[in-house]
Structure 1
Amino acid sequence: MSEKIPFTLLQIVPDRLRGEVLNVGIVLHTDAGPDLRLRMLPSRLSALMPNYSRVNLEEWQHSWLAAIQRFDSADERWLWLKQAMAPLRLSETGGTITSENAEDLEVQVERLLERLVMPPRNVATIVKSRARRSGLNAQLTAWLRTQHLYSSKLQDLSKNRVVSGYPLSLTEELFAEFALKNGAVHVIETLDLRGHNSYTKPLRNEASHKALVLDLAQDELQKSSQRIAIVAADDYSTMKPAVSMLSRKASVVVSMESANDRQWLADFISKSLHLSTLLDPISETPLVSARA
């Protein structure tokens, strides 16, 4: 039996005098009261209010939910939401979600957040096309494709898929190579150093870019998000500066030469996507020729 749940767009107004508004989520009108669903990139908020550049939305959400739980009735919770959540406000924009079950509801919520809150996908597509794909990126993509887990569509993040080109900051044109979701969003960056016998300036620039993406992910995503760096090299002693740079920004570094690391990656993706059987690890052998 389908269920109809009204929702209202949630906005933030950093400075009422300036009158600038940014969509940050939606609020579901449930029988128990307001159910907050946030989805916002702090880098976009910082464009309106620089002091908010490192706002931890996860902590905000926990504080709001904890405050709401103090009230027994749904009416009291709505009253608190409307009066005590500045600089947040409920918009006049809203509608109704029709869902068949709890899982369908989450899919509908994700679609609304993408449409009303996230940056336009056509802009993301333009910027993503500039990124150069390494052999390791192609290797990971091919492995995910064989498992029917890969998607280039951002909305498939909520459909147990690993998506490419996850937007972290459109203003800085930064996208994570891969992302998957299990409550929190987890990102993956690859750095293919195979086929090089010296640590050149282009490699240093590439490693710096990967580290920047992982650093931004630490600011933009939840504390529980994993920032995974997958690296491959013929001579790790020569490429130590690049690997060290990523290690400082990643929560996990996966070496393609380590069977244990590749097994960890397969298990992590399997469990995060709730697969019925665990994946076989990605092959250490490149599926495409390494760069000369």
Structure 2
Amino acid sequence: MTRQIAHYGVLSHYPQPNRTEHVHIGIAVFLADGSVRVHFGHDLRKLQAIDPQVKLDAVRSWEAGLPRLLEGQTHAAAAAFVKSLGQWSLSDTLGRFAYTGEEEYLARVTAALHSLVSTPAKPSRERGEVSRLHIDLKTTFTAKGWLGKDITKHEIVERYPIGPMTTAEFALQNGRLHVIESLDLRTSTPSAKRQDARAKALVFDMAKQSAADSARYSILAGVGSPLMGDAKALMSRYSEHVFTWESAQDMSELMNILGAATGKPGLSLPH
């Protein structure tokens, strides 16, 4: 498939148009064929924090309505139209990303929304928002003697930066970059999990761009989740290996791979 280029601007809401206070709420994406797609952030509660009168359902409705009004317009014309709505603006400058197919497009959109729109998590809450699967993996890696802080010493490290605004959940370097991402489907809402899956796909894509020979591992939990089939299909496109947390065979295979990569295959888990 041919790679496409999309350009996007940030949509902002101004409670009082004559004042500077505002909040970013989403992005408008201009596609090569002249069509426009609008995407709002997953959580718009911060919008009500600065404008209690706003109706979130009404704002959400523009996700489908605004693209029809902007279709075929230049960026300047679109910005002027958005401004005419009274409380919104479209950024003067445009970002861009390349994509092939709908899945990669949505992964790029998720990354842009996370960077430009999402409210940063407070440090005090970050640990509480980590998935149970992440904690289980971290505990396992620690028990095996693999977890550390120095990736140059064949240690598995947490939150390793692999590109602009992109951080791997776990990474290992032994002459080859190994990237490990987990997706816990046992918790949260389906929409949040879909966004998580797209974000993981973006991490794998960035890992491949930064190191073409990188090894990429997906670990999924939640065999009973209705999202498991789609999640496996998506992860299979972006990672070399897809493992199921509940499968003893899968986990044994993963531990053997990582044991060889760290150079510490002989350490067994405590009983």
TM-score normalized with structure 1 length? 0.46
TM-score normalized with structure 2 length? 0.50
